[in-house]
Structure 1
Amino acid sequence: MTTQSAMGRRAMLAGTAFALAGPALAQSTAPWPSRPIRFIVPFAPGGASDTTAPLTGQHLSQRLGQPVVVENRAGAASVIGTAEAARAAPDGYTILLAPPPFVITQFAYPNLPYDPEAAFRPVILLVTSPSLLFSRTGLATRGWPEIAEMAKARPGVLTYGSPGNGSLPHLAMELLKLRTGVDILHVPYRGGGPAAADLAGGRIDLMISSPLDMAGNLASGRAVPVAAATARRARAFPDLPTLGELGVPDYDSSGWFGVVMPAATPDAIATRLNTEFQAVLQVEEVAARLLTLGVEPAVGSAADFQGHLTAERNRWRVAVPAAGVTVQ
């Protein structure tokens, strides 16, 4: 083969290779986002989480020009959905709605299939929501002090319900027991709805829940708010004292939802998402709708959300083992 023909053959092969690589190269350098984004919600449909994600996701989609598809992946106190997000490619096309169990489960589950501190990077704290301690109708007339006296006089007789082992209401009540030294029997359910129904029916005595999830029973008078289970009084219940005001030291079990994504996601994508979510939360329609659900827009930087996660971990790192809570 002559030198000229060999050069021609190499040029032809190089041109073919470039042509074949072209689509892949174009795809790898395509601006983000260029396809739909998965928004994983680690709970079953229903409740504040199932409204917060679609509402913010819809407006995020309008701003990004790509669909934001909400996917419910429920089970194991949010572990199943979180594990799926942890396995996702760090390309900006999978985000996770992170609830309090995102932090709590690492101290309650001995064999998590992911490391929540290493596998994810924070994007934004979306909303915060109050938790209230509710009692069945007729349990007490003097609120928490009377209930605490009853529990101390008859250890293990009073009962409380939760959506399941490892859920925030479960561990929030265990934290209350730890802080006060009372003995109240845990009755786990498969979800918050059945637990709330049994509280309304008088089959259990107490439950920590959001006002949204207890709204129907509140309206019918079949559930009685006893105290705010948060550091500050609930905006919707300004006359209801906090457990701290009633003598429970260092107590806060506020609800919240944030957004995280795989840790290796590029900084530029994470920063863009934070900016866009902040803009979404400031839309009047979005803020008003969230407030009707009993949650308040948070807004802030990724660093602000990291500080929130650190404070939550510091609280539950001590409280969960001290309460002896382990979920297999």
Structure 2
Amino acid sequence: MPMQRRSALFTLSSLALAAGVLPARALAQAAYPTRAVTVVVPFPPGGPTDVAARLAAQRLGERLGQPIVVENRPGALAMLGTDRVAKSAPDGHTLLLTPQSPITIAEHFEPRPPYNAARDLVPVAAVVTSPVLVLGAADGPPDMRGLVEKARANPGKLLYGAPGLGNEMHLTWELIRSALNIDVMAVPYQGTNPAVLDLMAGRVQVVLTSPSSVKGHIAERKLRALATLTPQRLPEFPDIPTMAEAGLRDLNMPVAWLGLLAPSATPPAVVARLRQEIAQISAEPAYRQRMTELGFELPAFTPDAFPALVAGQRTQWGALIRAQNIQIGK
């Protein structure tokens, strides 16, 4: 058989084979998911993050037509569960639902995570964002200006109650402290509640936290909310000024989010399907209402914008940590 004819037959056969394979792959992706999906939450059960994650996972499973198994995998500052997903098969059947600490912050501290978040995980969508309040004692300064004045008059004497070190609440305070040029040292606690209790007892003078965890204390005037870190005032707390209204206008406050991520080699069609479903879920009035009741907000940006947001926050946190020489565990 002449060489040219053989080549032509080989090319035609290859094209025919490809024509048969490509639709099969497309069908396989279109059929996603083919079994139960595991959503790993790298925090203990029962907290606000876990409750929001389970609500989102339930609706996602209903829309995908497959059950979703929420697997709590806490430990090592959320790096244990994150590593589990980073090393999972990239087929969309093992996903991560987490705040940003193990994704944008952990890599800037020692010991380094056993994964590379930028390389090993693809940000799919933010499920919710979390408002953050600056809290002071009920008998303390009445507003942010008063807190700043007191801190400057007493350098090194005021304390910030941090829910651990090396997380976004700790670093957000460091961002505020640096911008305001005040000397208020972070004191680590095992979570937010002990820090809030010590704020009410006068052992620390400022705490950052979500509104849902202190709503009752604010209503009973056991704590004073000095400012919200959101761009606009919160509907539930219309009397609490924003940081811009409090005089800190040029500070780029990172958005606190709870996000869905997948192993980086997950097929684009699967990632697109997940983004589409999250967008649809986020538009449901009942879902929005329930998340609001839990103290969360729905993202003001689309799922497609989430990867750029994550990359920007990773850069911002890294720059802050280096500039302030922030260290943990020493």
1:75 to partner: Cα distance: 3.0
Q: Tell me the TM-score normalized by structure 1.
A: 0.85
Identity of aligned residues (%): 35
1:301 to partner: Cα distance: 4.6
Q: Which residue is equivalent to 1:176?
A: 176
Q: Which residue is equivalent to 1:188?
A: 188
> For residues 139-168 of structure 1, what are the alpha-carbon distances to aligned partners after superposition, in whole Å with 9 as ceiling and x for unaligned?
113x11111111112111111111101122
Query: C-alpha separation between the residues in 2 aligned to 1:109 and 1:286?
Result: 39
Q: Which residue is equivalent to 2:305?
A: 304
Query: C-alpha separation between the residues in 1 aligned to 2:113 and 2:291?
Result: 32
Query: C-alpha separation between the residues in 1 aligned to 2:296 and 2:167?
Result: 19
Q: 1:1-328, aligned counterparts within 5 Å?
A: 31-101=31-101, 102-109=103-110, 111-141=112-142, 143-248=143-248, 249-298=250-299, 301-328=302-329
- Quote the RMSD (CA, aligned, Å): 2.2
**Quick check: 1:230–1:253 contact (8 Å CA) kept in 2?**
no
Query: C-alpha separation between the residues in 2 aligned to 1:290 and 1:46?
Result: 15
Query: C-alpha separation between the residues in 2 aligned to 1:296 and 1:191?
Result: 22
Q: Partner letter of residue 252 of structure 1?
A: M
Query: C-alpha separation between the residues in 2 aligned to 1:64 and 1:38?
Result: 13
1:47 to partner: Cα distance: 3.6
Look up the SS of the partner of 1:117 in the other structure.
helix
In structure 2, do the counterparts of structure 1 residues 76 and 176 end up closer, same or farther at CA, with 3 Å as the change threshold?
Answer: farther
> For residues 116-145 of structure 1, what are the alpha-carbon distances to aligned partners after superposition, in whole Å with 9 as ceiling and x for unaligned?
11111121122122111001111113x111
**Quick check: 2:106–2:112 contact (8 Å CA) kept in 1?**
no
In structure 2, do the counterparts of structure 1 residues 299 and 53 end up closer, same or farther at CA, with 3 Å as the change threshold?
Answer: farther
In structure 2, do the counterparts of structure 1 residues 32 and 299 end up closer, same or farther at CA, with 3 Å as the change threshold?
Answer: farther
1:253 to partner: Cα distance: 4.1
Q: Partner letter of residue 155 of structure 1?
A: P
**Quick check: 1:124–1:300 contact (8 Å CA) kept in 2?**
no
Look up the SS of the partner of 1:32 in the other structure.
coil
1:259 to partner: Cα distance: 0.8
> For residues 260-296 of structure 1, what are the alpha-carbon distances to aligned partners after superposition, in whole Å with 9 as ceiling and x for unaligned?
1000011111111111122222222211101112212
Query: C-alpha separation between the residues in 2 aligned to 1:206 and 1:80?
Result: 30
1:305 to partner: Cα distance: 0.7
Look up the SS of the partner of 2:275 in the other structure.
helix
Unpaired runs of 5+ residues, structure 2, are 1-26
In structure 2, do the counterparts of structure 1 residues 268 and 300 end up closer, same or farther at CA, with 3 Å as the change threshold?
Answer: farther
Q: Tell me the TM-score normalized by structure 2.
A: 0.84
Query: C-alpha separation between the residues in 2 aligned to 1:235 and 1:251?
Result: 22
**Quick check: 1:152–1:182 contact (8 Å CA) kept in 2?**
yes
Q: Which residue is equivalent to 2:5?
A: none
**Quick check: 1:77–1:164 contact (8 Å CA) kept in 2?**
no
Q: Partner letter of residue 239 of structure 1?
A: D
**Quick check: 2:254–2:313 contact (8 Å CA) kept in 1?**
no
